[in-house]
Structure 1
């Protein structure tokens, strides 16, 4: 809170009609490489920072919704695959690089043990924040999209078929960032690499596949005992469902049946547990490439 206040991102306020509660959660920041249970080296994010989360549910209920569409995951991945070189860029506190109109700042008011404050920059939580941010990024890079880069929120992927072309595309993107005062987080940027993680998928000149670290999480989940155990599985596997659905026999049926089971109110039978086990084992053995 002290850092946000010193940076002018929040300010003290006492006369707002909107007050929301705050919670601070761990934030993953930076990358390292660790071994999984199969003795394979996989990239993992470090947790060495904190994120301030505001409960804006009451504000969101009263907000007129912005229905600007976010890009579809499969469309982005199809454009990125089979390139020779990539640059993966990440904005530094992306949302907070967008200013809030002074007349609306009081709506972001939150209370915490240190006092009551409001934001001057866009925080996480307001329902229209993702649409506002994506529209802004597309406006900034509109002439570079599809040919030189792809943008999903604060993640930029620059690509090309040759090293020289990728370097030229990177130069154009960095110049645009400088021109528009967009700040990048160098600790989360990767330059001139032949593969990397984009939206939970590994992209390269071979195509795309689900991030191995995500599959390790799915296969290591404990046996289900109650509804929430299956909900946990569906939550972890949901981000990979598009790719996993490429298995015509296993995943469409398993996900459909498991979703029905998750709506029940009782403990699971041995037959139902075997269904979950089949999905978990399948996630580890199936060909995940596109």
Structure 2
């Protein structure tokens, strides 16, 4: 357990050995430079941070025994949310637009997807329409 800057505790688990046994991810993390460049021409940005990272994503029941977190809800993947008006990096989402009308439409779509998949944002780490 590690104490975070806000006083809450964060559980840390060493998955090095488990990761060695897993297949290589065909979808590597995007380059931070590409993400920053992708937001540069947009007038409005909203930054969202998901609570508890991957612990919100249900895993396949057969894989539950391989980790400390066990679930029987099945496996899911993000395929609805990512689009040209979003940048996503691990558990961080940036919504980008050129005007407020478009921005609110994008945010409404993002919130619909988050609600549909029961994902929660950390309000302390979110900034909207900046």
Scaled by the length of structure 2, what TM-score is found?
0.82
Following the alignment from structure 1 to structure 2, what is the Cα–Cα distance between the partners of residues 52 and 71?
25
Moved over 4 A (4+): none
TM-superposed deviation, 1:89:
0.9
TM-superposed deviation, 1:192:
1.2
1:57 aligns with 2:16: yes
Task: String of CA shifts for 1:69-99, please: whole Å, max 9, x gaps.
Answer: 2112221111101321111111111201112
Following the alignment from structure 1 to structure 2, what is the Cα–Cα distance between the partners of residues 163 and 106?
46
TM-superposed deviation, 1:101:
2.3
The verdict on how the C-alpha distance between 1:58 and 1:187 changes in structure 2, with shifts beyond 3 A counting, is same
The verdict on how the C-alpha distance between 1:74 and 1:180 changes in structure 2, with shifts beyond 3 A counting, is same
Q: Which runs of 5+ in 2 are unaligned?
A: none
Following the alignment from structure 1 to structure 2, what is the Cα–Cα distance between the partners of residues 191 and 66?
31
Matched pairs, number = 127
Residues 22-37 of structure 1 mapped to structure 2, 5 A cutoff:
24-27=1-4
Picking from 158, 171, 174, the partner of 2:95 is: 158
Q: Which runs of 5+ in 1 are unaligned?
A: 1-23, 28-45, 109-117, 122-132, 194-290
**Which residue of structure 1 lines up, in the alignment, with residue 86 of structure 2?**
149
Greater Rg by CA = 1
Following the alignment from structure 1 to structure 2, what is the Cα–Cα distance between the partners of residues 48 and 94?
18
The verdict on how the C-alpha distance between 1:60 and 1:94 changes in structure 2, with shifts beyond 3 A counting, is closer
Following the alignment from structure 2 to structure 1, what is the Cα–Cα distance between the partners of residues 70 and 28?
25
Q: Which has the higher strand share?
A: 1
**Which residue of structure 2 lines up, in the alignment, with residue 73 of structure 1?**
32
The verdict on how the C-alpha distance between 1:48 and 1:64 changes in structure 2, with shifts beyond 3 A counting, is same
Following the alignment from structure 2 to structure 1, what is the Cα–Cα distance between the partners of residues 66 and 115?
31
**Highest RCO, 1 vs 2 (Cα 8 Å, sep ≥ 6):** 2
Following the alignment from structure 1 to structure 2, what is the Cα–Cα distance between the partners of residues 89 and 57?
28
Picking from 69, 74, 92, the partner of 1:119 is: 69
Scaled by the length of structure 1, what TM-score is found?
0.40
Picking from 116, 122, 129, the partner of 1:185 is: 122
Residues 217-232 of structure 1 mapped to structure 2, 5 A cutoff:
none
Residues 9-48 of structure 1 mapped to structure 2, 5 A cutoff:
24-27=1-4, 46-48=5-7
The verdict on how the C-alpha distance between 1:63 and 1:179 changes in structure 2, with shifts beyond 3 A counting, is closer
Following the alignment from structure 1 to structure 2, what is the Cα–Cα distance between the partners of residues 57 and 80?
33
TM-superposed deviation, 1:103:
2.2
